[in-house]
Amino acid sequence: MIGWPPYILGLGGSPGDKLRPMSSIASLHVIKVSDLPAIVGAAGSARTGEAVRQFGAEQDQEYHWSGNVMLEVLNSLDALGIRLEAAGLRDESEAINADFDYTVLITSDAKAFLDRLDPAAHDPGESFVGLAGLRLDEEEAGYALEDTLLLLRDTIARLSDDEVLLLNIG
C-alpha cells in the first residue's frame, strides 16, 4: 500500500483542513530531474509551490475529477502491484510534502506499467471498489477510472529519461 496518510484513505486520523472528500484537486507537472533539487530545497520554507511553478511545466490535459479520485486510483493500482511512485525518490517526495500537500514523483521507469494502465483492462467494481466510497455511482466510477488511467498513461508515456512527473494532490 502506498504511504497515504490515514485520513486520505478514510482510516481515521485528522487531516485538519488539508484534504476533505471531493474537495481536493490533482495537478501534474513535468520537471527536469536536474531541477528536482531546487524544488526539494524550497521544501519546508512554504515556497515549494512557487518552485514547482518555476521549474515545472503544468500539463495541459484537464482532469475534472476530485484529487481523491486520483488518490483512490493510485492506491488501487498499488494494491494490484502497479507501483508508479519512484522508489528512489521517496525522500524527495517526503521533503516536498512538508508544505505542498501530497506529492508523488513518477519517473519514466513507470513506462513498464503502460499496458496495465489501459482502462479496458480494469473494472471499477472489482479492483477499484473504493471509488464508490467517494459518492460515485457505477457509471461515474467507470468514467472517473477511465479518465484517470488515460491521464496517467498518456502523461507517463511522454516522460523522457531526464524528466519526472510531480503529481500533487491537495
Catalogue all structural domains in the chain, each as residue range(s) with its CATH number: 26-169 (3.40.1760)
Mean pLDDT for the chain overall = 84
Q: Which amino acid is at 109?
A: D
For residue 114, the model assigns a pLDDT of 97
| Across 26-52, average pLDDT | 91
Q: What is the pLDDT of residues 72-105, one digit of tens each?
A: 999 999 999 999 999 999 999 999 988 777 899 9
For residue 20, the model assigns a pLDDT of 41
